């Protein structure tokens, strides 16, 4: 009985991941609309101070991360630090991190980002997005896409999982 339950969890995870990717691709391509972010949600974090800015750069490179339900000493927290550290360390272009967080993980994410800034001594630009607000915004997409993600034979997700498992 454990295999089918895990299979369903994998399907749900892949569905949510696909929906989030589609949403952010749509939002990235739809640059003409007003942003729902406030000025204070754009942070430039440096080793010595944090300040708010609305400055725009010529070319923007965006990295989207999901950081929810993370505990302080978890493996995911360590991997988050390593990922951001390595990207900042090897990048020669300005990066903007867009991080989807829940309220419990926000403080941990801020601490982890401060740690990266301290280690690298480089500027870090990031924006936080509340996972609940993001879920509400894509609810209509989830409703439309849900029938295509099922364990029934012939469904797209079923084929995908068989390819991943083999």
Domain residue spans of the chain? 2-28+39-165
Give the C-alpha separation, 121 to 42, whole Å. 19
More confident residue, 46 or 73: 73
Q: Parallel, antiparallel, or unpaired for β 124-130 and 95-101?
A: parallel
Give the C-alpha separation, 80 to 70, whole Å. 10
Could you report the per-residue pLDDT of 7-28, keeping only the tens digit for each? 676 777 776 766 776 666 666 6
Give the C-alpha separation, 114 to 96, whole Å. 15
| Model pTM above 0.85 | no
């Amino acid at each position: 009985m454990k295999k089918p339950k895990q299979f369903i969890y994998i399907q749900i995870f892949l569905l949510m991941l696909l929906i989030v990717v589609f949403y952010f691709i749509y939002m990235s391509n739809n640059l003409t609309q007003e942003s729902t972010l406030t000025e204070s949600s754009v942070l430039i974090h440096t080793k010595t101070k944090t300040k708010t800015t609305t400055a725009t750069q010529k070319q923007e490179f965006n990295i989207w991360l999901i950081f929810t339900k993370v505990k302080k000493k978890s493996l995911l927290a360590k991997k988050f630090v390593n990922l951001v550290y390595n990207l900042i360390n090897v990048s020669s272009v300005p990066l903007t991190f867009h991080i989807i967080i829940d309220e419990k993980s926000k403080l941990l994410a801020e601490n982890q980002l401060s740690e990266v800034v301290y280690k690298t001594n480089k500027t870090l630009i990031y924006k936080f997005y509340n996972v609940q607000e993001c879920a509400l915004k894509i609810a209509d997409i989830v409703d439309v896409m849900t029938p295509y993600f099922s364990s029934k034979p012939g469904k797209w997700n079923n084929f995908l999982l068989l390819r991943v498992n083999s």
